[in-house]
Amino acid sequence: MKKPIVFVLIFCFCFSCKNEVKLEETSKVETSEDTQYQKPEFAIIIHGGAGTILKKNMTPEREAAYKAKLEEAIRVGHNILKNGGSSLDAVEKTINVMEDSPLFNAGKGAVFTNAETNELDASIMDGKTLNAGASAGTTTVKNPINLARAVMEKSEHVMLSGKGAETFAEEQGLQLEKPEYFYTENRFNSLKRIKDREKTKLDHDGKTAFYDPYIKDSKYGTVGCAALDKKGNLAAGTSTGGMTNKRYGRIGDAPIIGSGTYANNATCAISSTGWGEYFIRAQVAHDISAMMEYKNISLEEASKEVIQNKLTNLGGTGGIIGVDKHGNMVMEFNTAGMYRATMNDKGKLNIGIYEK
Ligand code: ASP
């Protein structure tokens, strides 16, 4: 071969190698550490609460019932996303399925307050606009997540509570129920058990803590969903009855934007479940997003740091589910279990209950 031709060939080879490296680097940043990784078109992840969920305490029938309901719920959202629907619709409709099921501590099946009422909290956030809506302490709204969305879209406010929130719900034509609708025997018995233990403790030491260790060890059955749609928009939502035996109009983390729910197209969408007081103090959902944004770390790394270190060191228990802007999904918890499910754009379903 003549010398000039060899030089041209060497030059072309070097140039194409450089471009290849560049592409690889770009795709690493834009997608995932895995070079084989293909960004999914959309993604959805849900939880049905964390806590002391042990296989030894679960009957096969009950386990099957939870799995079936988780699957039913996630399929609703998955269908919406598959057909090009928004992450907000997917989050709302998926949560509706769990709110309508007595298995979870949200909507029908919500836990009881000390006054033997059910007071429900919920929130939703749109990662595209950073708009958010929340409702707290309602007793008659069948699906509090719908109310949270109405607050976000139809009012000038972010959070409404109690009677005012119920008036707004009525004005918006949302379905209302008598307070008795939320009664379930199971949850009522849980309240009775906790009150009995509280009484024993009172008899014993003359005083008692609002949240005694029994509650710390119990289950948090809140429901939540995070989703990424085909347009790249993230959304998250959370709905709950709060914590059994709560008093004095106590509000947990679920309706607090940044604690129970957070979504930002620049980072991720998160829904939390656990001991709300700690999730509020640790600002769990927003902290994960902020760590991703400021430290440029992955959703997985940020979630681990916040749940396994920051929250755990404070004494808080619970977990989160999340999805990032690339469709990577994470479920992180420091309890014995968390009801959870994911479904990717290929329709691959993953359901979990106990520790990883
Ligand atoms: N985080 C909820 C609360 O503290 C409880 C739960 O997750 O079940 O109200």
pLDDT of residue 31: 38
Pick from 27-31, 78-82, 178-182, 329-333: least confident: 27-31
pLDDT of 264 higher than 50: yes
Structure tokens given for 181 = 């609708």
Indicate which residue of 140, 222, 244, 261 is catalytic.
222
Counting from 1 in the atom list of ligand 1, the atom nearest the Cα of 275 is 4
Given pLDDT bands bounded at 50, 70 and 90, which one contains residue 205? low
Counting from 1 in the atom list of ligand 1, the atom nearest the Cα of 251 is 9
pLDDT of residue 11: 44
Number of structural domains (the chain) is 2
Given pLDDT bands bounded at 50, 70 and 90, which one contains residue 203? low
Q: Longest Cα pair distance anywhere in the chain, in angstroms?
A: 100
User: Do 10 and 157 fall within a single domain?
Assistant: no
| Section 224-242 average pLDDT | 98
User: Do 117 and 13 fall within a single domain?
Assistant: no
User: Do 133 and 26 fall within a single domain?
Assistant: no
Mutate to test the pocket of ligand 1, among 105, 240, 270, 278 (most ligand atoms within 8 A of CB): 240
- 222 is an active site residue: yes
Which of 163, 154, 92, 132 lies closest to 256, judged by CA?
A: 132
Contact (Cβ atoms closer than 8 angstroms) between residue 351 and residue 71:
yes
pLDDT of residue 208: 52
Q: Which domain holds residue 154?
A: 43-354
Given pLDDT bands bounded at 50, 70 and 90, which one contains residue 356? low
User: Do 183 and 34 fall within a single domain?
Assistant: no
pLDDT of residue 152: 98
| Section 8-26 average pLDDT | 36
pLDDT of 10 higher than 90: no
Given pLDDT bands bounded at 50, 70 and 90, which one contains residue 198? confident
Given pLDDT bands bounded at 50, 70 and 90, which one contains residue 13? very low
**Residue bearing the bigger pLDDT, 1 or 240:** 240
Residues 88-118 pLDDT 10s: 999 999 999 999 999 999 999 999 999 999 9
User: Do 33 and 65 fall within a single domain?
Assistant: no
pLDDT of 266 higher than 90: yes
Q: Is 241 in the pocket of ligand 1 (CB under 6 A)?
A: no
pLDDT of residue 355: 86
For ligand 1, atom 4, which residue shows the shortest CA distance? 276
User: Do 26 and 51 fall within a single domain?
Assistant: no
For ligand 1, atom 8, which residue shows the shortest CA distance? 220
CB under 8 Å, gap of 24 or more: what pairs does 305-314 form?
306/282, 306/332, 307/332, 307/333, 307/334, 308/332, 308/334, 310/282, 311/274, 311/278, 311/279, 311/282, 311/284, 314/278, 314/281, 314/282
- Which residues 6+ apart lie within 8 Å of 244 measured at CB? 111, 112, 187, 190, 191, 194, 215, 218
CA R_g for the chain: 23
CATH of the domain at 248: 3.60.20.30
User: Do 157 and 216 fall within a single domain?
Assistant: yes
Q: Is 253 in the pocket of ligand 1 (CB under 6 A)?
A: yes
Which of 229, 243, 269 lies closest to 125, judged by CA?
A: 269
Residues facing 350 on adjacent strands: 342
Residue type, 71: E
Q: Is 221 in the pocket of ligand 1 (CB under 6 A)?
A: yes
Averaged pLDDT score across all residues of the chain: 88
User: Do 257 and 186 fall within a single domain?
Assistant: yes
User: Do 9 and 118 fall within a single domain?
Assistant: no
Instruction: Please give the share of the chain, as a percent, with pLDDT higher than 90.
Output: 78
Given pLDDT bands bounded at 50, 70 and 90, which one contains residue 12? very low
User: Do 159 and 308 fall within a single domain?
Assistant: yes
For ligand 1, atom 6, which residue shows the shortest CA distance? 220
Q: Is 317 in the pocket of ligand 1 (CB under 6 A)?
A: no
User: Do 89 and 191 fall within a single domain?
Assistant: yes
Q: Is 243 in the pocket of ligand 1 (CB under 6 A)?
A: yes
pLDDT of residue 221: 85
| Section 39-59 average pLDDT | 92
User: Do 163 and 271 fall within a single domain?
Assistant: yes
Pick from 50-64, 95-109, 227-241, 307-321: least confident: 50-64
